[in-house]
Structures are given as structure tokens and as C-alpha cells.
């Protein structure tokens, strides 16, 4: 007996037509996505969307199935950032939807275009709270966390719903959009010709937005009068794919620039105008600062003194007018898309009008040289067990020969130190915890980077950060993706040497310092490496990247390596009461295992 799956049967019957002259919600949704250029869906199936995923796959859309919706959502968000097209995540009702919503909210916070399509349960039961299977008012739940949220209530509105969701996600400031599709709508039949006529493809999904000429002139005059100009490039600048416009403005003026973490590589990190290695001097002394796709939020100290000069004047290039003045007065607003704005600045600048005064450049150069020397010293130090710098020195040396590698990065110390140690040379090749400083993006972002680009990916993860999406190692192996996960394993959240003096339980920051994370990937057929020296790290990583196979390198670090909360310890509230001191009872189980038998 031969069995035919739902997807095969429907695909065989001409995906756009369904059975005979009828079509249904399943087909219309897949057709609407295909019509709007969707090539990949990231998701996790169950009632009521399993057949939708099958049909999408049978119709030529790639379906990547995850172990947790948050990772599927993170993958869709990263796909949005990398491609400038909304990444699509597919989830089941209620809990699956909520699991994905965290990623959708994170995408919105990071200004990445993404659409989460979720099946939902029977409306007439949900709305009267009659206790339906996976009952939740998903549309209302999504609304506070997203750029826009819509529900399709009739099959004939599927094309409109998809068009609206995609337009909202990608136009203006990109963000996350929720599209609710009740199971009943997927199964709803309608005339195939009318169904086909109800779909449309977006024209110019993210129209250019040109700045007004007077706004450009105002910004140029401010820059022309600056003694210490600085450009800050943010991930909006990376997203905009306006690499040439940005480069020609910077190089024609000579203004020093500072890349935010995901803008690293927009121009190569060794570019002579990069002042990443003189960050605090550049921020504290700049008199005119041009923000390009970067918000003046906590990551930039809200533009406040003493991190910034109290007299600094700001120019802000952003597509979202309401972002301006959110923290500091914006003397020269430049509202528009970054490509158009940067091109207009270059075009309208008179020759020699905007330059970077030599004294300023020299001052920054001197600080860069000084800081580079202390970085070299830190990297040259070779403690055993390894600490962050010598483990990352090995990673840096391997990646120096592979600028094509996409780097994913999360953790606290693992994030801060990797950002400074690992240079990027190509645009949009670094994806990290972003505006929320969120943990859990690692494996999802890595899957998307590999799937969307086909290039090798190295995810550099703190051991705590890794755990949030660790099960996706199976996803990486199932799809045989060229992803190497590097776990910087210091056995804890921030560090792994804290003892608990109050009880036998491990302290809140403790994880297992004896863990062999490489064994996790071996369970799924990937290559595991355990590295205790920089040489072992370099050998393992080099081999893993060259193999193009799923791999994990567990790097054993000293549990005392790292500082609490990394570079942002100041954000921890301080208790007004002196710390409670209790006699230490006995070492917790993880410490006992780490110490081994007496
Ligand atoms: P970072 O964290 O790297 O400093 P942010 O995420 O804070 O960067 O800032 C990104 C900014 O870029 C957002 O304010 C967003 O509105 C803006 N943006 C995104 N895409 C574009 C674009 N194509 N043109 C102009 N601004 C953009
Ligand atoms: C969703 C809080 C910030 S950093 C971090 C946590 C739990 C992990 C730090 O340890 P790790 O790195 O990864 O081992 P390292 O190098 O410092 O040892 N939950 C979410 N997001 C955040 N940011 C946290 C918790 C946090």
C-alpha cells in the first residue's frame, strides 16, 4: 500500500488551485507567501499548522523546523536583518505563539523585519473563554510587543493580511509583525479563481525616503564648523545595505567613526578612520556627533555627560522621526533612509566643506595606539587554565583568515570581550544580543545565518548563554549546517567560582564547571572538541570550519575568569542593607565535582 502525505497530495493537485475549482486557506497562505518572495519559513509544527508547513515545503518553500519556537523566531529575525526582507516564523496556538512572541518582541526592539504567523484556536470558543484547546486571545497578547498585529478572519482576506503584515514589517522603521490565522480559516474553502485574484505582491515594500535639502544643508554646516566630529554607525546602518554610500561619505570627509557592535565590518575594523579602539575618548570629546542608524539609548549612555561632552551637538540619521530627541536635543535631524541621506550628504557637500581637523585625528590616533598596545599585552598573556583573552586570541587568529565567517555572539564577558577582540571585515557578518542584551539568540541566529547565506558560522557563546538555545544543536545537525559553536565555559553565569555560604545549594550564578558541552553535539552526530589550551582551541576551530560540518568546541576556562555582569555591572541595583553573612556549610555539588575526589 502506498501512502501519500497531505502535502504531497495537495502539491500534486496544483498548489495554486487546490482540489478542482476550489482552493482553501492553506493554499492561499502558501501562495501569498511565495508571491511575496518568501523562500524559507522557520517554525515548529502542531495543531493547526502542521499541514501548512507540509504544503509550504511541497510548494518549494524551505521549512526549517526547530526544537523551541523562540529559536525559530530568532532565526526569522536574523533572516530579516541579513536579507532586508521579513523573516517568517510559524507557530502553533497559545504556548507556541507565546514562545515565539519573545523573539518577535526582540526583533521589534532591534528594528529587524519579521512576521510571526501563528495558528490559533476556534474564535467562538476562545472569545467566550469556553476552555478551548490552547485557548488564548493571541491578537491582544501580541499587540503591546510588536510593531503591528493583524488577524485574518476569512480565507478571502489572506492575501490582504499577508500584504499588510509584510508592508508593516519592512517599511519605515522595520519591526516585528504578528499575523493571526485561526485554524478554521486555513480549512475554509473558496473558489480557486476568486482566491487567486485575492492575492497580491507588494510593490516597492520599503520605499526610499529622501531627506529635505534644507535638512541636509543644516547637517553639513554643523559638520563644517566641528572641531572634533564623530560618526556613530549602528545596526540600522548595517541593515540599510547602503555600504557604498556610507563609505564614500566617510572617506570623502575623513571623519572618524565608531561602529556599534553589529555595525562592525560595515567598513573593515582595521579601517584607519575607525576609532573603536579609542571609544571613550571619542565619545567624551566629540563636539558634533552624527548618529547613523544608531539610537542614543543605554548602549550609548543616553548621550549624557560624563560619557559624552555636555556641549556635544547631535545630527541623527534615522528613518523614524519620533526616535529623534528621545534623549538629547537633535540639532540637525536627517529623517530618511540611510542610503538616500548619505548619498545626499556626499552630493551636497562642497569640496573641502567637511573635514576632520588634524589635531583631532592625531589625538585619536595616539589613544588608539596606546590602547592597541595594552590589548596586545592582554592577548599575549597565557594563563592556564585559559581565560577569556587567551582563548579568544586563538579564535581571532583562526578567523583572521576567514573574513567570510558569520559571527554570532552572546553572553556577558563572552560578549564584551569577543566584541573587542574579534575584528570583522565584511558588513552584516556579526549578530549579537542586540538592544535588549538578550540571552538565547545564539543557535537561532546561527541557523539563519547559515541557511540564508550558505557561509560558515561561528557562534561564540558564554556557557550560560549557550544553554538558552542549546537543544538547537540537534536542528543544526539535522539540517547539516556549517555552524561551529564555541562555548567559553567558565562554569557560571558571568563566572563559575562563587560559593554559597548559606546552604548546600549552588550559588545563583553557578553552573557545572565540569560540563563537557561537546558531548551534546556528539549525541546528534556533530563533531565535538574539548579544548584546554589556545592551541587546542585554534586547531579545533580551524578543523571545524574547514569541515563545513556541525561542530562544538568546548573551551575550558578558569571559573574565576570574568566579572559579574561584564561591562555593565553598574546597572545592578545596590542593596541598602549590609550583606547577610552566614557560616559556610559545605561546598556545593558542582564545586565538589570540580575539585574531584579528596
Ligand atoms: P545600535 O544598537 O547598533 O546602536 P539601534 O538598533 O539602536 O542601533 O538603531 C538602529 C536605528 O536604525 C533605529 O532607530 C532604526 O529606526 C534605524 N533604521 C533602521 N533601518 C534604517 C534605514 N534603512 N534607514 C534609516 N534608519 C534606519
Ligand atoms: C533572556 C541575564 C545576562 S548575561 C547572562 C545572563 C543570564 C549570562 C552570562 O553568562 P555566560 O557568559 O553566558 O556564561 P560569561 O562570559 O559572562 O560567563 N535572561 C535573558 N537575558 C538576559 N540578559 C539574562 C537572562 C544575563
Cβ count within 10 A of residue 146: 22
Distance, C-alpha 108 to centroid of its chain:
11
- Percent of the chain clearing pLDDT 70 (strictly above): 93
User: Whole-number mean pLDDT of the chain?
Assistant: 95
154 with 174: CB under 8 angstroms?
A: no
Say if residue 584's pLDDT is above 90.
Answer: no
Considering every ligand atom, which ligand is closest to the CA of 111?
1
Considering every ligand atom, which ligand is closest to the CA of 171?
1
- The Å distance, Cα 441 to ligand 2 centre, comes to 11
Atom in ligand 1 nearest the alpha carbon of residue 260? 3
293 lines ligand 1 (CB under 6 A): yes
Atom in ligand 1 nearest the alpha carbon of residue 109? 6
- Nearest residue (CA) to ligand 1, atom 22: 337
The rounded distance, in Å, linking the Cα atoms of 24 and 453 is 33
Q: Give the model's confidence band at 583: pLDDT under 50 very low, under 70 low, under 90 confident, else very high.
A: very low
Q: Give the model's confidence band at 34: pLDDT under 50 very low, under 70 low, under 90 confident, else very high.
A: very high
What is the pLDDT, as a whole number, of residue 474? 99
316 lines ligand 1 (CB under 6 A): no
What is the pLDDT, as a whole number, of residue 501? 86
Atom in ligand 1 nearest the alpha carbon of residue 323? 14
The rounded distance, in Å, linking the Cα atoms of 476 and 472 is 6
Atom in ligand 2 nearest the alpha carbon of residue 467? 13
| 8-state DSSP, 441 | -
Atom in ligand 1 nearest the alpha carbon of residue 110? 6
The rounded distance, in Å, linking the Cα atoms of 375 and 367 is 12
What is the pLDDT, as a whole number, of residue 593? 60
The rounded distance, in Å, linking the Cα atoms of 11 and 24 is 13
For residue 321, give the C-alpha cell: 522621526
- The Å distance, Cα 291 to ligand 1 centre, comes to 9
Considering every ligand atom, which ligand is closest to the CA of 173?
1
- Side-chain half-sphere exposure of 73, counting CA atoms within 13 A: 27
Q: Taking residues 246-262, report their average pLDDT.
A: 98
Considering every ligand atom, which ligand is closest to the CA of 387?
2
Query: Residue for cell digits 486555513?
Result: 186
Please state whether beta strands 288-292 and 257-259 pair in parallel, antiparallel, or not at all (unpaired): unpaired
pLDDT tens by residue, 176-225: 999 999 999 999 999 999 999 999 999 999 999 999 999 999 999 999 99
Mutate to test the pocket of ligand 2, among 409, 494, 564 (most ligand atoms within 8 A of CB): 494
234 lines ligand 1 (CB under 6 A): yes
What is the pLDDT, as a whole number, of residue 578? 78
- The Å distance, Cα 562 to ligand 2 centre, comes to 12
- The Å distance, Cα 590 to ligand 2 centre, comes to 19
Say if residue 534's pLDDT is above 70.
Answer: yes
- Nearest residue (CA) to ligand 2, atom 3: 412
Considering every ligand atom, which ligand is closest to the CA of 298?
1
The rounded distance, in Å, linking the Cα atoms of 468 and 414 is 15
- The Å distance, Cα 512 to ligand 2 centre, comes to 15
- The Å distance, Cα 336 to ligand 2 centre, comes to 35
Its pTM stands at: 0.95
Mutate to test the pocket of ligand 1, among 295, 326, 339, 435 (most ligand atoms within 8 A of CB): 295
Measured CA distances, 73 to 91, 204, 243, 435 (Å): 9, 25, 27, 16
Q: Which of 470, 465, 394, 478 is nearest to 432 (CA)?
A: 465
Say if residue 580's pLDDT is above 80.
Answer: no
Cβ count within 10 A of residue 400: 11
Atom in ligand 2 nearest the alpha carbon of residue 468? 1
- The Å distance, Cα 318 to ligand 1 centre, comes to 6
435 lines ligand 1 (CB under 6 A): yes
What is the pLDDT, as a whole number, of residue 9? 54
263 lines ligand 1 (CB under 6 A): yes
Say if residue 10's pLDDT is above 70.
Answer: no
Atom in ligand 2 nearest the alpha carbon of residue 433? 23
- The Å distance, Cα 468 to ligand 2 centre, comes to 9
- The Å distance, Cα 295 to ligand 1 centre, comes to 7
199 with 159: CB under 8 angstroms?
A: yes
Q: Taking residues 367-376, report their average pLDDT.
A: 97
Helix (H) or strand (E) holding 43: strand 40-43
Three-class SS of residue 332? strand
What is the pLDDT, as a whole number, of residue 598? 42
Considering every ligand atom, which ligand is closest to the CA of 572?
2
Q: Give the model's confidence band at 492: pLDDT under 50 very low, under 70 low, under 90 confident, else very high.
A: very high
435 with 297: CB under 8 angstroms?
A: yes
Q: Which of 566, 444, 484 is nearest to 106 (CA)?
A: 444
- Nearest residue (CA) to ligand 2, atom 15: 494
Please state whether beta strands 288-292 and 229-233 pair in parallel, antiparallel, or not at all (unpaired): parallel
245 lines ligand 1 (CB under 6 A): no
What is the pLDDT, as a whole number, of residue 219? 98
Q: Which of 514, 512, 519 is nearest to 553 (CA)?
A: 519
- The Å distance, Cα 262 to ligand 2 centre, comes to 18
Query: Residue for cell digits 540639532?
Result: 331
- Provide the sign of the torsion angle of the four alpha carbons 66, 72, 74, 76, taken in this order: positive
The rounded distance, in Å, linking the Cα atoms of 495 and 516 is 17
Say if residue 19's pLDDT is above 70.
Answer: no
The rounded distance, in Å, linking the Cα atoms of 329 and 350 is 26
For residue 534, give the C-alpha cell: 589556545
- Side-chain half-sphere exposure of 330, counting CA atoms within 13 A: 23
Considering every ligand atom, which ligand is closest to the CA of 174?
1
DSSP letter string, 217-271: HHHHHHHHH-SSEEEEE-HHHHHTT-HHHHHHHHHHH---EEE-GGGTTSS-TT-
Cβ count within 10 A of residue 554: 25
Q: Is 16 exposed, middle or buried (0-12, 13-18, 19+ CB in 10 A)?
A: middle
Pocket lined around ligand 2, Cβ cut-off 6 Å: 411-414, 437-440, 462-465, 488, 490, 493-494, 562, 566
Q: Give the model's confidence band at 546: pLDDT under 50 very low, under 70 low, under 90 confident, else very high.
A: very high
- Nearest residue (CA) to ligand 2, atom 20: 439
469 with 444: CB under 8 angstroms?
A: yes
Amino acid at each position: 500500500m502506498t501512502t501519500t502525505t497531505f502535502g504531497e497530495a495537495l502539491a500534486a493537485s496544483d498548489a495554486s488551485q487546490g482540489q478542482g475549482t476550489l482552493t482553501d486557506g492553506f493554499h492561499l497562505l502558501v501562495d501569498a507567501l511565495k508571491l511575496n518572495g518568501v523562500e524559507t519559513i522557520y517554525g515548529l509544527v502542531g495543531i493547526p499548522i502542521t499541514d501548512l508547513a507540509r504544503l509550504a515545503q511541497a510548494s518549494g518553500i524551505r521549512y526549517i523546523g526547530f526544537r523551541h519556537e523562540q529559536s525559530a523566531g530568532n532565526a526569522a529575525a536574523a533572516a530579516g536583518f541579513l536579507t532586508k526582507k521579513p523573516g517568517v516564523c510559524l507557530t502553533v496556538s497559545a504556548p507556541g505563539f507565546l514562545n515565539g512572541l519573545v523573539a518577535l518582541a526582540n526583533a521589534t526592539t532591534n528594528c529587524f523585519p519579521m512576521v510571526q504567523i501563528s495558528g490559533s484556536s476556534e474564535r467562538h470558543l476562545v472569545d467566550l473563554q469556553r476552555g478551548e484547546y490552547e485557548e488564548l486571545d493571541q491578537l491582544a497578547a501580541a499587540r503591546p510587543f510588536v510593531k503591528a498585529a493583524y488577524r485574518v478572519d476569512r480565507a478571502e482576506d489572506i492575501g490582504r493580511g499577508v500584504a499588510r503584515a509584510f508592508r508593516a514589517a519592512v517599511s519605515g522603521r522595520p519591526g516585528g509583525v504578528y499575523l493571526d490565522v485561526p485554524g478554521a480559516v486555513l480549512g475554509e474553502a473558496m473558489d480557486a479563481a476568486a482566491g487567486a485574484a485575492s492575492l497580491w505582491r507588494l510593490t516597492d515594500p520599503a520605499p526610499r525616503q529622501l531627506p529635505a535639502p534644507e535638512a541636509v544643508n543644516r547637517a553639513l554646516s554643523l559638520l563644517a564648523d566641528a572641531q572634533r566630529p564623530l560618526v556613530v554607525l549602528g545596526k540600522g546602518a548595517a541593515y540599510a545595505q547602503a555600504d557604498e554610500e556610507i563609505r564614500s561619505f566617510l572617506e570623502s570627509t575623513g571623519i572618524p567613526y565608531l561602529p556599534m557592535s553589529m555595525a562592525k565590518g560595515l567598513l573593515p575594523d582595521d579601517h584607519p578612520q575607525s576609532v573603536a579602539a579609542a571609544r571613550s575618548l571619542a565619545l567624551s570629546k566629540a563636539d558634533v556627533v552624527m548618529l547613523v542608524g544608531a539610537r542614543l539609548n543605554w548602549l550609548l549612555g543616553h548621550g549624557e555627560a560624563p560619557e559624552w561632552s555636555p556641549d556635544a551637538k547631535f545630527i541623527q540619521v534615522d528613518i523614524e522621526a519620533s526616535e529623534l530627541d528621545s534623549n538629547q536635543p537633535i540639532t540637525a535631524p536627517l529623517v530618511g533612509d540611510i542610503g538616500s541621506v548619505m548619498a545626499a550628504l556626499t552630493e551636497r557637500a562642497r569640496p573641502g566643506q567637511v573635514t576632520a581637523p588634524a589635531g583631532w585625528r592625531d589625538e585619536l590616533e595616539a589613544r588608539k595606539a596606546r590602547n592597541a598596545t595594552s590589548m596586545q599585552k592582554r592577548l599575549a598573556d597565557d594563563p592556564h587554565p585559559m581565560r577569556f583573552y587567551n582563548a579568544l586570541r586563538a579564535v581571532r587568529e583562526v578567523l583572521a583568515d576567514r573574513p567570510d565567517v558569520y559571527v554570532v555572539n552572546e553572553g556577558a564577558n563572552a560578549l564584551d570581550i569577543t566584541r573587542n577582540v574579534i575584528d570583522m571585515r565584511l558588513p552584516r557578518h556579526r549578530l549579537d544580543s542586540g538592544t535588549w542584551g538578550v540571552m538565547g539568540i545564539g543557535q537561532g541566529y546561527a541557523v539563519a545565518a547559515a541557511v540564508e547565506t550558505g557561509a560558515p558560522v561561528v557562534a561564540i557563546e558564554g556557557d550560560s548563554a549557550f544553554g538558552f538555545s542549546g537543544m538547537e544543536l540537534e536542528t543544526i545537525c539535522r539540517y547539516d549546517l556549517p555552524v561551529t559553536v564555541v562555548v567559553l565555559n567558565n562554569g557560571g553565569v558571568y563566572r563559575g567560582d562563587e560559593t554559597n555560604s548559606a546552604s548546600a545549594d549552588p550559588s545563583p550564578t553557578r553552573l557545572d564547571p565540569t560540563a563537557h558541552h561537546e558531548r551534546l553535539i556528539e549525541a546528534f552526530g556533530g563533531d565535538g572538541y574539548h579544548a584546554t589550551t589556545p592551541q587546542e582551541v585554534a586547531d579545533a576551530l580551524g578543523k571545524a570550519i574547514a569541515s563545513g560540518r556541525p561542530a562544538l568546541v568546548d573551551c575550558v576556562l578558569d571559573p574565576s575568569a570574568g566579572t559579574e555582569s561584564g561591562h555593565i555591572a553598574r546597572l545592578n541595583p545596590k542593596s541598602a542593607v549590609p550583606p547577610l553573612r552566614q557560616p559556610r556549610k559545605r561546598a556545593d555539588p558542582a564545586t565538589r565535582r570540580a575539585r574531584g575526589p579528596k
